[in-house]
Structure 1
Amino acid sequence: MKTLLMILAFTVLVACSNDDENMNGFNLENQVYLSIKNSDGQNLLDASTENSFNINAIRLYYLIDNEPVEVTIENGYNMGSTELTSDKLLKVFTNPSSSNIIEKTSEYDVVENIAYLALSETEIDTIKTYSKSGQNYFLVSKVWYNGELVWERETGGVIEIIKQ
């Protein structure tokens, strides 16, 4: 019995490791949820609202090498409700590129990315994000909409945009 316990203890000790080199998972959280309303609080993503945006005409562009590059609807954004709210929201996937590093820490890099959301042919908004990029994750940490800080990871939630 004593020998069996020694073998078991040895096996447990050998099996334990602090080595993170073999981590397989990757956490990619690069989406933001936008609620776009008029000054009366009506949802401009709902087709039944007067002067709403045509969902089929919305376009998303990532700024890559100082050039706007259009992102397809399958990869860049989609419509729908979430568990966050019953309103129709625009779920926008921000650029997951880690190439534009603006700050380095010992644990992660802070990456800045810019996207342009064309709600119509004449209305183009700017979404700037700061993301934390580490070995096994890419997480949006701050979002600016048309130059205004509108979201931080610590507070979370849906970003509400009011259009005049």
Structure 2
Amino acid sequence: MSVYDYTVTREDGTSYSLSQYQGQPLIIVNTATKCGFAPQFEQLEALYKKYQGQGLMVLGFPSDQFHQELEDGAAAAQACRTTWGVTFPMHQMIKVNGEDADPLFEYLKAEAPGALGNAIKWNFTKFLVNGDGKVVARYAPKTTPEKMVPDIEKLLAQAEY
């Protein structure tokens, strides 16, 4: 199994396989526009712009699991664009914990348990995935995207994307 075995749904309702990103490192993050960590959108966008030419892809998944998101994925994505300048792909609203949790996030949590075991503690839990689709690191919500740079650069140096 890898992240490439999962299908996700964009904010506009179109579904696609993550296999389209095969060979590229990914940052997968659960987001919330009304969260105190929302300024991380700007930082994630900066990483995306800096490294996308080398293959890095950032994927945002809005979640209202912690009651800090707008009514749906499209509204959340629009807020991300207008407030934070986000250009990386945003997706439909998902749940990250519980029996209705999105299958992709179930996989991510199982591959990289956090301080609360398999649960997502809060918004802006970030997963770094290598070009083989394997989770190589999990970052706590309070860990800023800039602190991910050494790990991102290490991944990018390991292979040509």
Taking structure 1 as the reference length, the TM-score comes to: 0.25
Name the structure with the higher helix share: 2
Please say which structure displays the higher CA radius of gyration.
1
